[in-house]
């Protein structure tokens, strides 16, 4: 049985050949551990859960049940990509739940950031648990735990079991096939498994999703504006060679309006705030230099294409003193 300590002599996975050797080894271990039983996985579409899903599909096929909960706070096109890649291309046993109304109704009027996070996290567990209770013969729970999670949990920074709080009487054995890998290794394994490059190399995205970037109390119209503005930023960064160069880049939209002019008339709208940072450990972060011509182009697109946005601002604050996320 695999321990949660990475052996000192374990070679860092940097090539497709090393990734394939790791995949072959894990396929055998998964098959030995699981046998003919079913495995449940909360598939967010993030790097870690996607790689675990692809690895388990290779090992046990439709014995894996993937549950993708769309909480309505995903970036544009993300849930659609999960359905396309796993549901259609990989023929995964995928349960898709659109819980947008359920989450947004619970979040209505809630402005305090930590309260928002707790509602989103708690509701996710509720939705996931409800689906788990409907299933029969599931004895294993797969998770995208990676080695930094384990190191941080040992240091008391955070708990590494990312799906906790399931109802009493619902107990699973854990399947954590990438638990000894660092993030860069998980990406190499993901590409070797045939996952799309943009999925494997997607930037970090907080669990509460756009919920912590739609600042203050979330409204549906402002959330929609945020999602559209963020999609334009990501599209332009990809087109201009910044997607692979910048660690994290996104839009935040605050809960206040300012006056502007559109079509010769007074027009009140929200500002869209661009945040683009580089970091190696997320403990400190520096600001990425974005060419002014590109900033002007992004500003023009967002203010003309996104209903409700009438200004674009650039956040120039490093960490410390500003955190990476606004909330």
Task: Give the per-residue pLDDT at 20.
Answer: 98
Question: For a pLDDT cut of 70, what percent of the chain falls above it?
Answer: 93
Question: Could you tell me how many residues make up the chain?
Answer: 327
For 114-135, b where at least 16 C-beta lie within 10 A, e where not — what string?
A: eebbebbeebbbbbbeebbeee
Task: Give the per-residue pLDDT at 168.
Answer: 57
pLDDT, tens digit, for every residue of 242-286? 998 999 999 999 999 999 988 889 999 999 999 999 988 778 899
- Arithmetic mean of pLDDT, 211-238: 97
CATH number among 3.40.50.10540, 3.40.50.620, 1.20.840.10, 1.10.260.40, domain 16-200: 3.40.50.620
Q: Strand locations in the chain, DSSP E?
A: 38-42, 64-70, 93-98, 138-142, 173-175, 248-252, 258-262, 265-278, 286-287, 309-314
Fold of 213-314: GMP Synthetase; Chain A, domain 3 (3.30.300)
Check if the beta carbon of residue 269 is closer than 8 Å to that of residue 280. Answer: no
* Cα–Cα distance measured from residue 310 to residue 296, given in angstroms and rounded to the nearest whole number: 14
- Residue 194, SS3? coil
- Residue 314, SS3? strand
Task: Give the per-residue pLDDT at 170.
Answer: 63
* Cα–Cα distance measured from residue 51 to residue 191, given in angstroms and rounded to the nearest whole number: 9
pLDDT, tens digit, for every residue of 288-303? 999 999 999 999 999 9
How much is the pTM? 0.86
* Cα–Cα distance measured from residue 103 to residue 123, given in angstroms and rounded to the nearest whole number: 7
Token readout for 292 is 């002014």
Domain boundaries, the chain: 16-200, 213-314
Q: Note the helical H segments in 43-99.
A: 47-60, 78-82
Mean pLDDT of the chain: 91
Q: State the chain's maximal CA–CA distance in angstroms.
A: 70
Give the residue with greater pLDDT, 8 vs 17: 17
């Amino acid at each position: 049985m695999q321990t949660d300590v990475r052996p000192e002599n374990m070679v860092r996975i940097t090539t497709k050949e090393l990734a394939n050797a790791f995949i072959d080894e894990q396929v055998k271990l998964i098959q030995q551990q699981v046998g003919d039983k079913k495995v449940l996985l909360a598939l967010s579409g993030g790097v870690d859960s996607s790689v675990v899903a692809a690895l388990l599909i290779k090992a046990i096929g439709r014995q894996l049940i993937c549950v993708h909960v769309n909480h309505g706070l995903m970036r544009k096109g993300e849930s659609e990509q999960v359905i396309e890649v796993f549901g259609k291309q990989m023929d995964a046993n995928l349960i898709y739940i659109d819980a947008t109304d359920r989450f947004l109704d619970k979040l209505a009027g809630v402005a305090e950031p930590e309260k928002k996070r707790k509602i989103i996290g708690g509701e996710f567990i509720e939705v996931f648990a409800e689906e788990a209770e409907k299933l029969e013969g599931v004895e294993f729970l797969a998770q995208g735990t990676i080695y930094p999670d384990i190191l941080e949990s040992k240091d008391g920074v955070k708990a590494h079991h990312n799906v906790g709080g399931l109802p009493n009487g619902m107990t699973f054995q854990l399947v954590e096939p990438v638990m000894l890998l660092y993030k860069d290794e998980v990406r190499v394994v993901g590409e070797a498994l045939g996952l799309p490059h943009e999925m494997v190399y997607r930037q970090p995205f907080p669990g509460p999703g756009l919920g912590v970037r739609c600042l203050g109390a979330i409204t549906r119209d402002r959330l929609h504006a945020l999602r559209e503005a963020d999609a334009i930023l990501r599209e332009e960064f990809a087109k201009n060679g910044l997607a692979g160069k910048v660690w994290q880049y996104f839009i935040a939209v605050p809960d206040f309006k300012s006056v502007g002019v559109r079509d010769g008339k007074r027009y009140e709208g929200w500002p869209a705030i661009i945040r683009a940072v580089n970091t190696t450990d997320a403990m400190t972060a520096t600001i990425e230099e974005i060419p002014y011509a590109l900033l002007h182009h992004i500003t023009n697109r967002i203010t003309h294409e996104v209903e409700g946005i009438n200004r674009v601002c650039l956040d120039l604050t490093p960490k410390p003193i500003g955190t990476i996320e606004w909330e």
